[in-house]
Amino acid sequence: MTSSSDKTAPDRRPAEGADTRSALSGSDGLEPIDAVLDYLAFTGRPQPLSVLLDEAPRRLAACADADVVSLYLLEGDGHELVMRGTSGFPAGAPGRVRLAVGEGITGRAVATQRPIVTARASDHEGFQPSPELPEERYPALAAVPLLGTHGPLGAVVVRRRTDRSFSEAEVCLVAALTAPVATAIRLARMLDELRDDPEGGAVRGTRKVTLPGVPVVRGRALGAVAALRRPSTTPAQQPNEGDERRLETALHTTHRALTDLVERAQRLGLGERADFIHSYLLMVDDQQLRRGTKRSLAKGASLTTALGRVARHATAAAAKRDDEFLMTRARDLEQLCDALLVMASPDPGAAPPSKSIVVADQLSIYDVLVTVQTGPVGFVMTGRAPRTRSRVLLELLGIPAITSVAGALRWTAPGDIALVDADHGLLTINPSRADIAAYRAERRRERVSLRGTAKP
């Protein structure tokens, strides 16, 4: 076991008159042995990964007399540690706190496969602060590697509010109690196949697969997988006498929807990140869009053709001037015209089924105006680094969402059942009955809690 070299390094000898039991006193109102037995009984039974990530840290805190316990898992190519579960830290930390193997105290513990203990983490030479965590409140720290049969699987990190360092007996206990967590993770089949062959071909089917991501909007959702859709490329070209009226209705509906998004962005404090929505409002209010479309309609063009001409004219003008800003605006106008077309002439194939888990590379304003009308329950973004716009739109929608889920398109097919766990940043494809039961139980608890807090 490695300890800090500062003056507050833990004394491995028990205090005079103390025995092992006093060093292992529980912090959850349980007798020490009761806390350990409760933890072992919990980790020894099969259960969904989400339940393990929620409950194991809390129960381990009771065993180790810790104020905070965090569970980090080794992911991807085996060089990144991601916090997936915690007790004591903010609920938004799992999935967002990440570090490389060898980075910080936790990363060093995993790299050396030895525990590291310090009475004051900020004084340790390997300390690297995480802006997402209030680490200064919990100075005492012990990082214990989570070992599997072929190397480390991650780490368990325990913390205290005081600089009373964790004793050798306490660290030995935590190290021993990581074994059932490692076994439970292996039984949950967490990432093993992807870590062995991250780029290999996937075989779709009924096998349960869990993929990691980064949470954007917290929450959990269960539904059938669906891909983003766009209007048909070969729509009917015949004009309709009601096209102009339907266009006005679509423009009015779009203006109202964009105005709502702007107001929501202000309430959420998104600031300049959401300024791009104003550009769409300007396009909707632009008389040139109306005049150009109506002029084509008056000449006998269909609404599809008329809107297409407006978008193509903007793209051609931007290309002629070789202006990147105008090119971006032309692409935005094309998405807006697609949305107006679907809103004016509904296309059953232009939106995913209702209550689906939408899987896509990025999100656009078209998806906000059209896709959400079917009531998707969750979003999964596959892009390694989601664009700022996609992230902002997800935050505005407020639907459980995770990003950077590599391999999601490779492992899923439309209609597959999937569980989005945006509390931990995980996508489970073909979840087990236990996973579904745990999700539904959590939803029932949420409904009961909401009824209990509702004003009479």
Q: Please give the helix or strand (H or E) that residue 446 lies within, else none.
A: helix 433-453
**pLDDT category, 411, cuts 50, 70, 90?**
confident
Instruction: Give the range of the structural domain holding residue 43, as residue numbers without chain letter.
Output: 2-194
Question: Range with the lowest mean pLDDT among 40-54, 107-121, 427-441?
Answer: 40-54
| Spatial distance between the Cα atoms of 41 and 165, rounded to a whole number of angstroms | 28
The tens digit of pLDDT for each residue in 294-329 reads 888 888 888 888 888 888 888 888 888 877 888 888
**pLDDT category, 66, cuts 50, 70, 90?**
very high
The CATH number given to whatever domain includes residue 389 is 3.50.30.10
DSSP 101-125: TTSHHHHHHHHHTS-EEES-GGGST
58 and 156 belong to one structural domain: yes
Average pLDDT of span 44-73:
89
Q: Is residue 236 part of a domain?
A: no
The tens digit of pLDDT for each residue in 108-156 reads 999 999 999 999 999 999 999 888 899 999 999 999 999 888 889 899 9
The tens digit of pLDDT for each residue in 380-392 reads 998 766 678 888 9
The gap from C-alpha 317 to its chain's centroid, in whole angstroms, comes to 39
Supply the pLDDT for residue 350. Answer: 66
The CATH number given to whatever domain includes residue 163 is 3.30.450.40
- Judged by DSSP in three states, 140 sits in strand
Domain finish residue from 194, 220, 255 = 194
Q: Is residue 249 part of a domain?
A: yes
SS (H, E, C) 28-86: CCCCHHHHHHHHHHHHCCCCCHHHHHHHHHHHHHHHHCCCEEEEEEEECCCCEEEEEEE
270 and 359 belong to one structural domain: no
Q: Is residue 237 part of a domain?
A: no
Count the neighbouring beta carbons within 10 Å of the beta carbon of residue 85.
27
Stated pTM of the model: 0.74
Q: Is residue 235 part of a domain?
A: no
20 and 147 belong to one structural domain: yes
156 and 17 belong to one structural domain: yes
| Spatial distance between the Cα atoms of 391 and 438, rounded to a whole number of angstroms | 28
Q: What is the share, in percent, of the chain residues with pLDDT greater than 90?
A: 36
Domain finish residue from 323, 349, 375 = 349
Supply the pLDDT for residue 239. Answer: 60
Distances in Å between the Cα of 78 and the Cα atoms of 67, 152, 428 are 29, 9, 20
Question: Range with the lowest mean pLDDT among 195-199, 206-210, 390-394?
Answer: 195-199
Distances in Å between the Cα of 26 and the Cα atoms of 18, 31, 159, 363 are 15, 6, 14, 47
379 and 324 belong to one structural domain: no
The tens digit of pLDDT for each residue in 328-365 reads 888 888 888 888 888 887 766 667 788 999 998 888 88
Q: Is residue 234 part of a domain?
A: no
| Spatial distance between the Cα atoms of 107 and 104, rounded to a whole number of angstroms | 5
Burial class (CB in 10 A: 0-12, 13-18, 19+), 415: exposed
Q: Please give the helix or strand (H or E) that residue 209 lies within, else none.
A: strand 209-212
> Which residues fall within 8 angstroms of residue 353, CB to CB, at 6 or more apart?
224, 226, 374
Average pLDDT of span 389-404:
92
Q: 239 or 60: whose pLDDT is higher?
A: 60
| Spatial distance between the Cα atoms of 335 and 331, rounded to a whole number of angstroms | 6
| Spatial distance between the Cα atoms of 351 and 368, rounded to a whole number of angstroms | 11
Q: Is residue 94 part of a domain?
A: yes
52 and 183 belong to one structural domain: yes
Q: Is residue 301 part of a domain?
A: yes
Average pLDDT of span 185-201:
49
Distances in Å between the Cα of 321 and the Cα atoms of 54, 143, 194, 311, 330 are 55, 58, 46, 16, 12
Closest C-alpha among 362, 354, 352, 356 to residue 394: 362
Strands of the sheet containing 68-75, edge to edge, are 2-3, 116-118, 140-148, 151-160, 68-75, 80-87, 98-100
Quote the number of domains for the chain: 3
Q: Give the HSE-up count for residue 334: Cα atoms under 13 Å, Cβ half-sphere.
A: 13
291 and 186 belong to one structural domain: no
Domain finish residue from 349, 384, 405 = 349
73 and 133 belong to one structural domain: yes
277 and 345 belong to one structural domain: yes
| CB 399 within 8 Å of CB 221 | yes
The tens digit of pLDDT for each residue in 255-274 reads 999 999 999 999 999 988 99
In the block, tokens 């072929």 appear at 150
Distances in Å between the Cα of 41 and the Cα atoms of 34, 306, 420 are 10, 67, 27
149 and 210 belong to one structural domain: no
| Spatial distance between the Cα atoms of 266 and 127, rounded to a whole number of angstroms | 37
State the average pLDDT for the chain.
82
Q: Is residue 238 part of a domain?
A: no
Closest C-alpha among 121, 96, 128, 83 to residue 4: 121
Supply the pLDDT for residue 198. Answer: 44
Is pLDDT at 203 greater than 60 in this prediction?
no
| Spatial distance between the Cα atoms of 12 and 142, rounded to a whole number of angstroms | 14
380 and 435 belong to one structural domain: yes
164 and 217 belong to one structural domain: no
